[in-house]
């Protein structure tokens, strides 16, 4: 079987020894291993890429260079692949379909991540808080919660963000008046496609998030997670290390800590006088030092 033919089958013959990710060709595996080896590493945020070409594309997220522009909404991108995927928002094209539930996707990566909903696979685990993720990129972004890293800075107000997508959303929401996404039912305009999708559910009464334990369904994923935790005791409560108050969402815990315990740092390093607000921050400090 040729490499081209094998790429279109489910035979992923080559497995990574470090993260068990599988590939259809030896060259794809070798390129993936460069990520673990840190061969092509960004000097600004530490992200590791599979090739010099990928690294050059990634560096554009820091430099702000976006040479490829959408002809419909004028949004700009760092490389052509992102522009092609973005164009499907306007065309409505979703060429990738789940063979289990027939749900269509505009990107192959979204389909691959979606398949883990059916398999339950979450191969990427945080070594600080044991939280697990379906994508390596999600784990890398999550680690900045523990390290405090915010390498993406807004050039207009100097506000910093953990990932480039949050930076771009920030610019669209606060520093731009462009609203390229319109509701087909009421004509209301939105700055992002995510905001439009959430809004359309009001008109269609769509509730795509179904509880696996009962017949309840929800418009948003965070509503489903809150329901699972409250009604079925499924999920994780986020507990304040200082006062033991519990929260459903990590963001609510963070906001609570900033408002109530901003100056309280009860966790002291045994090797240096540095203090921390949470035990997770202290554990990470010990691992780094």
CATH of the domain at 273: 3.30.160
Mean pLDDT value of segment 162-178: 82
- Count of domains in the chain? 1
Domain span holding position 282: 214-288
Q: Would you give the distance in Å from CA 146 to the centre of its chain?
A: 16
pLDDT in tens, 195-241: 888 899 889 988 888 888 898 999 888 888 888 888 888 877 888 88
Query: Rounded to whole angstroms, how far apart are CA atoms 149 and 72?
Result: 34
Taking residues 160-172, report their average pLDDT: 83
Under DSSP, the state recorded for 6 is H
Nearby residues of 166 by Cβ (< 8 Å), 6 or more positions away? 152
In whole angstroms, what is the distance from residue 37 CA to residue 49 CA? 10
- Tell me if 242 is assigned to some domain: yes
Convert the pLDDT of each residue in 42-83 to its tens digit: 888 888 898 888 888 888 878 878 888 888 888 888 788 888
Residue 192 in any domain: the answer is: no
Among 44, 21, 24, 25, smallest CA distance to 35 is for: 21
Threshold 0.85, pTM exceeds: no
Can you give the pLDDT at residue 10?
47
pLDDT digits over 232-280, tens only? 888 778 888 878 888 877 778 877 777 676 666 767 777 887 777 666 6
């Amino acid at each position: 079987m040729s490499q081209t033919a094998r790429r279109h089958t489910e035979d992923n013959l080559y497995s990574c020894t470090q993260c068990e990710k599988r590939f259809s060709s030896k060259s794809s595996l070798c390129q993936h291993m460069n990520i673990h080896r840190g061969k092509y590493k960004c000097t600004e945020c530490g992200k590791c890429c599979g090739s010099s070409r990928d690294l050059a594309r990634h560096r554009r997220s820091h430099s702000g260079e976006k040479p490829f522009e959408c002809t419909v909404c004028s949004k700009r991108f760092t490389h052509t692949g992102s522009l092609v995927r973005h164009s499907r928002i306007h065309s409505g094209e979703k060429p990738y379909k789940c063979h289990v539930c027939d749900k269509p996707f505009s990107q192959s990566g979204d389909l691959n991540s979606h398949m883990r909903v059916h398999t339950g696979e979450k191969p990427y685990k945080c070594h600080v808080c044991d939280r697990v993720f379906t994508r390596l990129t999600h784990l890398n972004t999550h680690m900045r919660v523990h390290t405090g890293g915010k390498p993406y800075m807004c050039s207009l107000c100097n506000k910093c963000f953990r990932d480039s997508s949050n930076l771009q959303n920030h610019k669209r929401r606060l520093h731009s008046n462009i609203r390229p996404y319109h509701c087909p039912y009421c004509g209301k305009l939105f700055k992002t496609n995510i905001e439009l999708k959430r809004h359309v559910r009001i008109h269609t009464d769509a509730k795509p998030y179904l509880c696996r334990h009962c017949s309840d369904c929800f418009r948003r994923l965070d509503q489903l997670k809150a329901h699972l935790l409250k009604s079925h005791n499924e999920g994780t409560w986020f507990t304040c290390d200082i006062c033991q108050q519990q929260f459903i969402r990590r963001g609510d815990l963070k906001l609570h800590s900033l408002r109530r315990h901003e100056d309280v740092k009860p966790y002291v390093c045994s090797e240096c006088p540095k203090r921390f607000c949470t035990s997770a921050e202290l554990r990470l400090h010990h691992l780094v030092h």
